[in-house]
Structure 1
Amino acid sequence: MSAAVLPVPDLDIEDALVREASPPWETVVWNDPVNLMNYVVHVFREYFGYSLEEATRLMLAVHHDGKAIVAQGAREQMELHVQAMHDYGLWATVRRSG
């Protein structure tokens, strides 16, 4: 009688499938009383490469709504964006999309 050999799961593939099934993460920039609107536009253009129109739209969302989602994607990348926003002096956080 021979012992049955069970397949060993590929954890890398399983981790990738879990990540794909998870909603993306967001970088959220929050309103603050310190930074001028034109500076926020400058940061969005310089760091993210947004057009003047898109950077202005996002800045106005921050100004009027108190926040704007400026990027979506993998958590690690969103954490890098948040750190960059902090380096520019903006208040930003990472959160799950949805």
Structure 2
Amino acid sequence: MPREMPSQRGGATVLEREDQQTRKRQPLYRVLLHNDPVNTRDYVVATLQTVVPQLSEQDAVAVMLAAHNTGVGLVIVCDQEPAEFYSEQLKSKGLTSTIEPET
């Protein structure tokens, strides 16, 4: 709710509104790629770049290697709706993907 702040201007009192509205940020979600013993590394990299166009080839390789070496790689952190979309697209192309809230 805006507060009204009185001020003096040329002998008249003017009411100015002070906005105290703060937008609550939506929680972000992590899109995860899980290790894939079936598909080739090249396929995984190409699929990551197709599904998440903002990933460079170098970034996609890093995600693939993280999944290969540790079992899971972080693809992207974004709002829930795009996170769900990216994860579903990866799944539709034969990769294992999940999302989780960013902490």
SS in 1 for 2:90: helix
Structure showing greater Rg: 2
User: Pick from 40, 47, 54: which aligns with 2:44?
Assistant: 40
1:87-98 map, 5 Å: 87-98=92-103
User: Pick from 23, 30, 34: which aligns with 1:30?
Assistant: 34
Greater share of strand residues, 1 or 2? 2
User: Pick from 48, 65, 68: which aligns with 1:63?
Assistant: 68
Gap runs ≥5 in structure 1: 1-6, 8-12
Partner of 2:84: 79
**% identical equivalent positions:** 27
Name segments (4+ residues, structure 1) moved above 2 Å: none
Greater RCO structure (CA 8 Å; 6+ sep): 1
Partner of 1:51: 56
TM-score for both structures, normalised by structure 2: 0.71
Report the aligned-residue RMSD. 1.9
Quote how far apart the aligned CAs of 1:23 are: 3.8
Q: Which amino acid is 2:50 matched to?
A: E
Gap runs ≥5 in structure 2: 2-20
Task: Map Cα deviations across residues 3-36 of structure 1 (whole Å, 9 max, x no partner).
Answer: xxxx8xxxxx89x62xx1x541111010022111
SS in 2 for 1:42: helix
